[in-house]
Amino acid sequence: MATELLAETNANMQKAIDALRRELATIRTGRARPALVENIRVTSYGVPTPLMQVASITAPEPRMLIIQPYDRQLLPGIEKAILRSELGLTPTNDGRVIRLVIPQLTEERRRELVRVVHKKMEEGRVAVRNIRRDTLETLRAMQRDKQISEDEEKHLAEQLQRLTDGIVVQVEQIGRDKEAELMEV
C-alpha cells in the first residue's frame, strides 16, 4: 500500500513536470515553434477550440510560422485570437494561410522572459512540494491508524524526500535549458 502511494506520488510529480514543460513551451524564444500557438483558443463554430485542432501549424523557416486552417472561414477568427494572445505578434492573412513572423528578441525582452521562466520554475517547485506534503500527511495518517510502523513511515518519508529532490533537480534543469534557449542570440 505504501509503495503504491510512492508510485502514485511519482506519477503526480511527473505530471507537474509535464505541465511545466507545456508552460515553458508557450514562452516565445527567437525561434518559431508550433507549440508557441498550439493552445491559443479560436472560436470555431461558436466553441472555443485550441488552434492545433482547427489548423495545421508549420515552421518552414526559423523565424516564421504558417497556420493553414482546415476551413478557410476560420481565418478571421484565428487572426483575432492571435492578436488577442499575449504573444505580441501580428499575423499576415493572405486568404489561404496566416503567416506569423517571429521578430528577433531584444536584450530587455529576453531578460523579462527569463524572469517569467524563473516564476514558472518556482510554480513547478511549489507544485512538487505540495504533492510531497500531501503524501507525507497520508503517511502520517497511515502510521497513526497503525497501517504502517513508525520505522516504515520514517523510511518512506526518506524515500519521498529523495524522490522530491530528484524531481526538483529536473525542474531546475528544464528551467536552465529554457533560459539558455532564451539568451541565445
pLDDT, tens only, 133-177: 999 999 999 889 888 888 888 998 999 999 999 999 999 999 999
As a whole number, the mean pLDDT across the chain is: 88
- How far is residue 178's CA from residue 158's CA, in Å, rounded to a whole number? 31
Residue 30 has pLDDT above 80, yes or no: no
Segment 79-103 shows an average pLDDT of 85
- How far is residue 161's CA from residue 132's CA, in Å, rounded to a whole number? 8
pLDDT for the residue 125: 94
The better pLDDT of the pair 38, 131 is held by 131
Sheet containing 64-69, strands listed edge to edge, beginning at the edge strand earlier in sequence: 55-61, 64-69, 98-101, 91-93
Q: Percent of the chain at pLDDT above 70?
A: 98
Segment 93-119 shows an average pLDDT of 86
Question: Residue 118: which residues within 8 A CB-CB, separation 6 or more?
Answer: 175, 179
In which band, very low, low, confident or very high, does the pLDDT at 16 lie, cut at 50, 70 and 90? very high
Residue 31 has pLDDT above 80, yes or no: no
Query: Please, are residues 78 and 51 in contact by the beta-carbon 8 Å criterion?
Result: yes
| Domains in the chain: ranges and CATH | 2-25+106-183 (1.10.132.20), 34-101 (3.30.1360.40)
pTM of the model: 0.71
pLDDT for the residue 185: 61
